[in-house]
Amino acid sequence: MSFEALRALIQGWAGAGLLPAGLTHGFLVNALLSGLVIGPVLGGLGTLVVTKRLAFFSEAVGHAALTGVAIGILVGEPYTGPYASLFGYCLLFALLVNYTRNRSNLTADTLIGVFLSVSLALGASLLLILASRVNIHILENVLFGSVLTVDDRDLTVLLVVALGVTALMLPLFNRLLLASFNPALARVRGVPVKGLDYLFIVLVTVVTVASVKIIGAILVGALLVIPAAAARVVASSLRGFFLLSVAFASVAAVAGILLPVQLALPVPSGGAIILAAGLLFLGALLARLFMKGEEG
Amino acid sequence: MTGPAILFDAVDLTLGRTVILDGVSLRVAAGTVHALVGPNGGGKSSLIRALLGQAPHRGTIRLDWPGDGPGTIAYVPQSVEFDRGLPLTVEDFLAVLCQRRPAFLGPDRRMNYGAALDRVGMAGKARRRFGALSGGERQRVLLAQALIPAPDLIVLDEPMTALDEAGIAIFETLLAELSAAGTTVLWVEHDLAQVRRLATRVTGLNRRVLFDGAPLEMLSPERVFDLFSAVPRRTGAERIAS
């Protein structure tokens, strides 16, 4: 089924009153589909990001997207989707951070802080240079995400990335986790620790970049971290951790896309998604406190 | 299949300008319990890392497997680094280590984690949170993972450090079972009394091999004193450099 047919089907259901009325708008259906595609992937990958203590890294990769967009516009890519520069720059940024991390005596957070600052400085400088070339307000969409600008091309990119990342993440899930517990034990078990380290960095980067359009460069890293953090607070097993994280990320994505439109709130989609995730995190914390109180 | 024999021949390992292992040569006979003893920093763990292919070294390390091909190698590290608050049960932990199916989908029943946990006295604790276990219990789980699948060579890096008396008894039984099954055991240990009782052979290592033979014969008070008090002699090149 093509996006066009799927969109028409959903719009039809919305017109018949089976779905929220806002979904009669094609742009909102696009945004919803992108949220449904990327939410579960971000939630699942997020469990590994949190376990491997790469939350700051995922934030940094998201912020690097800002510079990627600036470079894309500079080299003449369409400002609505400069994917070549986005993927190219963010992958370069992530691989460089990881390469340097393995070869410097700096702690990961210090190193990421250095790279992030330099990258942001480069991005800000380029954007100021470009200010005369594009409507600078378009950049708000890049920073905070927008439901208005998701087109079929974006959906295709999201779908390809989501399927690719899922196809790699699921069979390698145990190995990716084991490598962070004890590299020596992992190697004895046949896990190529260094190779998987780089692969994981690439997976986080491509998912982050693909999600920039809907969540925004500033906030995209948060959807990798907050749902997984919320799930970690309340889960008692790995199964609960993973499934809750996927559920939280999906609910946050859908709620963040639909609620501002339904309630006519002037909030960007990225902001709304992360606020929804934040509320879920708060709920998880309260549930944890309540459970502790019941136990104690 | 019985375990392999291991040959270390003139193994050198240098990190930066520090010599960790200096011409280490020894042979671990197939199916024996071979202990490595020596002071902290004497190179025991480094020799193990070199054996497991995780430390760049010079010289030869060779595993002579009986039969057609290599068998199963298991490793029990001193500890694992992980977030203690992680929602990870003992069964989840074993699933992460031992199965291909994503651990969050649940344990692969064919792996029979219960039997391995039973062997280390952890039956009934499969659903306990791994991070909430005591150090000794975690060590027992690390022993359990090494039993899945049944190993032909098992490398133990100070496995008794955190064990209580019951845990030590379980470890002794396990070692006897492995030995009876023909598994080669290479065992780094600091408790010389246990080595005296349980090992078939012992090597004293302090950057180089200081002694190698039967434990009762080798672990005399004089030799032990020499092993733990002697500063390893420097090579001629080092003497010239200093």
Domains of chain B: 1-72+192-242 (3.40.50.300)
ipTM: 0.84
Chain B touched by A291 (CB under 8 Å):
no
Relative to beta strand B208-213, strand B201-206 is antiparallel
Answer whether A188 sits within 8 Å of B74, measured CB to CB: yes
Of the CA atoms within 13 Å of residue B147, those in its CB half-sphere come to 20
A239 vs B77: CB contact, 8 Å cut-off? no
When scoring A168, A181, A191, A242 by the number of chain B Cβ atoms within 10 A, the one with the most, hence best to mutate, is A181
Across the interface, whether the CB atoms of B92 and A237 are under 8 A apart is answered yes
pLDDT given for residue B227 in this prediction: 81
CA gap A278, B80 in Å, rounded = 32
> What is the Cα–Cα distance from A183 to A196, expressed in whole angstroms?
11
Query: Is residue A190 pLDDT above 70, yes or no?
Result: yes
CB-CB neighbors (< 8 A) of A181 in chain B: 80-82, 96
pLDDT-derived band at A141 (thresholds 50, 70, 90) equals confident
C-alpha distances out from residue A272 to A283, B43, B64, Å: 16, 56, 62
Tell me, what's the pLDDT at B28? 96
Per-residue pLDDT at A134 exceeds 80 = no
The pLDDT-based confidence of A17 (bands split at 50, 70, 90) is confident
Q: Which residue has the tokens 């999201």?
A: A158
Mean pLDDT of A215-230: 88
Q: Is pLDDT of A176 > 90?
A: yes
Which of A79-83, A187-191, A222-226 is the least confident region? Answer: A79-83
Q: Which residue of B has its CA nearest to A236?
A: B87
How many folded domains does chain A comprise?
A: 1
Q: Among A159-168, A225-234, B163-172, which is the least confidently predicted range?
A: B163-172
Query: Phi-psi region for residue B154, left (φ > 0), alpha (ψ -120 to 50) or beta?
Result: beta
A174/B105 CB distance under 8 A: no
DSSP per position, chain B: -PPPEEEEEEEEEEETTEEEEEEEEEEEPTT-EEEEE--TTSSHHHHHHHHTT-S--EEEEEEE-SSSS---EEEE-S-----TTS--BHHHHHHHHH-SS-GGG---GGG-HHHHHHHTT-TT-TTSBGGGS-HHHHHHHHHHHHTSSPPSEEEEESTTTT--HHHHHHHHHHHHHHHHTT-EEEEE-S-HHHHHHH-SEEEEEESEEEEEE-HHHH--HHHHHHHHHPPPPPPHHHHHH-
Contact B93, B141 (CB under 8 A): yes
Q: What pLDDT is recorded for position B235? A: 46
Mean pLDDT, consecutive 10-residue stretches, chain B (242 aa), reads 90 89 94 93 91 90 88 90 88 95 92 92 92 91 94 92 86 92 94 91 93 89 79 48 44
Say which residue the tokens 């491509």 belong to: A206
User: What angle, 0 to 180 degrees and rounded to 10, lies between the N-to-C axes of helices A152-181 and A26-51?
Assistant: 10
Domain limits for position A94 = 3-295
What per-residue confidence (pLDDT) applies to A280? 97
pLDDT of residue B236: 44
Mutate to test the interface with A, among B84, B92, B94, B97 (most CBs of A within 10 A): B97
Residue A265 three-state SS: coil
Cβ contact A216:A144 at 8 Å: yes
For chain A, positions 47-86, list CB contacts with chain B under 8 A.
47, 51, 53
List the single residue in A171, A181, A242 with the smallest CB-CB distance to B104: A242
C-alpha to C-alpha distances, A41 to A201, A246, A253, B176, nearest whole angstrom: 15, 7, 11, 47
Nearest to A239 among B81, B97, B104 (CB): B104
Locate tokens 């699942």: which residue? Answer: A44
Residues of B with a Cβ under 8 Å from any A Cβ are: 49, 52-54, 73-75, 77, 79-83, 85-89, 92, 95-97, 99-106, 127, 129, 155
Q: Which secondary-structure segment (H or E) carries A249?
A: helix A238-262
- Closest partner residue to B87 (CB to CB) among A53, A177, A241 is A241
- pLDDT over 70 at A166, yes or no: yes
Residue A199 touches chain B, beta carbons under 8 Å: no
Closest CA to B48 of A189, A196, A185: A185
CATH at A77: 1.10.3470.10
Lowest mean pLDDT among A77-86, A104-113, A150-159, B69-78: A77-86
User: What pLDDT shows up at residue A189?
Assistant: 92
Kindly state the average pLDDT of the residues A158-179: 94
Task: For chains A and B, count residue pairs whose Cβ atoms are closer than 8 Å.
Answer: 85
Mean pLDDT of A64-77: 88
> What is the Cα–Cα distance from A166 to A46, expressed in whole angstroms?
12
When pLDDT is cut at 50, 70 and 90, the band that residue A294 belongs to is low
Q: In chain B, what residues touch A193 (CB-CB under 8 Å)?
A: none
Q: What is the reported pLDDT for B238?
A: 47
Question: What whole-number percentage of chain A has pLDDT above 70?
Answer: 98
User: In whole numbers, what is the pLDDT of chain A averaged over residues?
Assistant: 89
Under an 8 A CB cutoff, do A180 and B53 touch? no
Residue A216, pLDDT above cutoff 90: no
Between A290 and A172, residue with greater pLDDT: A172
A170–B86 CB contact, under 8 Å: no
